[in-house]
């Protein structure tokens, strides 16, 4: 079985600033981590490999430092990594992100299963997985919290707000995984050592055979027109003063007045 796992590098905080001029992310000075759901994706792939045998390839697109998340994926136990890095790919919307990622999957070839996170914690569009599947013309199962493989099919349980759905999907297919699916393993010192010797490719847009008008800013139909501060709702606030007991009494009075108690 050949499993491709897409891993994205994300800032380790919610408090990321945007460049007010370009509307792009300012990544300087912010620690980066592997998108937490993608660590679940790597773990899911490694568990399937342990059961069915095969090979796990981790793929990330981003600036050269995105290589850090690939090192992490290899140290967890992935067999190979591919870094897609090219200035021409920058500023992409989800269409222009999904396209080169799909191209990379095609170039690697013979995949049985592709795993993405349910979303990336920075922009959280959750669009990249379905877009990769659409480019490749394969079925997708989103929001998976249980996953197994048998006879050329994946059995996936989807975690929906009100219900679980169990779906049988023919391979090759793409799944997006939730954090509930597993607990990602930690890299061990031995695996960190081994990771140094694993095959690691770096591809640019030309290596992938990308059409120039399908990538980066030219290939992105959507754009950020402006960023602005939300209009403030200036609600009159009644502030309770005093020590904890006095404030507690005032709150209880207010709760009675509002007919909550």
Partner 1 sequence: MAKEDYKGIWVFAEQENGVLSETTFELLAKSADLKEKLGGKDEITAVVLGDDAAAFASTLYSYGAEKVIAAEHANLGQYSARPYAEVLTALSEKYKPSIFLFPASPLGRDLAPRVMCQLRTGLTADAIDLDVDEDGVFVQTTPNFGGNILSHICIMEKRPQMVTVHPKVFSPISPIEGAAGELILEKPEVEADDCYILLETEKRVFEGKPIADCSVLVSGGRGIKSQADLDMLRELAALLGGELASSRPLVDNGWLPHEKQIGQSGTTTKPDFILNVAVSGSVQYLAGMQNAKCIMSINHVASAPIWDVSHYGAVMDYSKLIPALIAEIKARKGL
Ligand X SMILES: Cc1cc2nc3c(=O)[nH]c(=O)nc-3n(C[C@H](O)[C@H](O)[C@H](O)COP(=O)(O)OP(=O)(O)OC[C@H]3O[C@@H](n4cnc5c(N)ncnc54)[C@H](O)[C@@H]3O)c2cc1C
Report yes or no: 34 and 7 within 8 Å, Cβ to Cβ. yes
Select from 117, 172, 184, 219 the one that contacts ligand X (CB under 6 A). 117
Shortest separation between residue 142's beta carbon and ligand X, angstroms: 10
Residue nearest to ligand X (CB): 117
Shortest separation between residue 169's beta carbon and ligand X, angstroms: 17
Judged by CB, which is closer to ligand X: 77, or 100?
100
Pick one of ligand X, partner 1, none as the site partner of residue 254 (Cβ within 5 to 8 A by kind): partner 1
Select from 32, 34, 37, 133 the one that contacts ligand X (CB under 6 A). 37
Task: Calculate helix-pair angle for 94-108, 128-136, nearest 10 degrees.
Answer: 50
Nearest CA to 77 among 219, 220, 231, 195?
A: 195
Residues in region 43-102 near ligand X by CB under 6 A: 59-62, 92-94, 97, 101
Select from 3, 8, 70, 208 the one that contacts ligand X (CB under 6 A). 8
Select from 3, 4, 7, 141 the one that contacts ligand X (CB under 6 A). 7
Residue 154 pairs in a beta bridge with 149, 169
Nearest-angstrom CA–CA distance, 124 and 206 = 28
| Helix locations, 20-63, DSSP H | 36-52
Radius of gyration of the chain (CA): 22
Report yes or no: 75 and 195 within 8 Å, Cβ to Cβ. yes
Residue with tokens 């081994």: 194
120: contact with ligand X by CB under 6 A: yes
For ligand X, the binding residues (CB under 6 A) are: 6-8, 14, 25, 35, 37-38, 59-62, 92-94, 97, 101, 116-117, 119-120, 122-129, 222
């Amino acid at each position: 079985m050949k499993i491709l796992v897409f891993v994205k590098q994300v800032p380790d905080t919610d408090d990321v600033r945007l460049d007010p001029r370009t509307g792009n992310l300012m990544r300087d000075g912010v620690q980066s981590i592997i998108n937490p759901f993608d660590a679940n994706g790597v773990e899911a792939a490694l568990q399937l490999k342990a059961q069915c045998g095969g090979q796990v390839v981790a793929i990330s697109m981003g600036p050269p430092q995105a290589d850090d998340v690939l090192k992490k994926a290899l140290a967890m136990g992935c067999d190979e990594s591919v870094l897609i890095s090219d200035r021409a790919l920058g500023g992409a919307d989800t269409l222009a992100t999904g396209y080169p990622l799909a191209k990379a999957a095609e170039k690697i070839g013979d995949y049985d299963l592709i795993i993405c996170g349910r979303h990336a914690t920075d922009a959280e569009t959750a669009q990249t997985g379905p877009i990769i599947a659409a480019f490749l013309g394969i079925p997708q199962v989103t929001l998976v919290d249980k996953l197994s493989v048998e006879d050329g099919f994946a059995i996936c349980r989807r975690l929906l707000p009100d219900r679980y759905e169990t779906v049988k999907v023919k391979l090759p297919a793409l799944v997006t995984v939730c954090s509930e699916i597993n607990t990602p393993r930690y890299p061990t010192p031995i695996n960190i050592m081994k990771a140094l010797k694993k095959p690691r490719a770096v591809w640019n847009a030309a290596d992938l055979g990308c059409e120039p008008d399908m990538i980066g800013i030219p290939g992105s139909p959507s754009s950020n027109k402006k960023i602005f501060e939300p209009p403030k709702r200036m609600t009159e606030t009644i502030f309770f003063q005093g020590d904890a007991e006095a404030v507690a009494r005032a709150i209880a009075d207010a709760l009675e007045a509002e007919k909550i108690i």
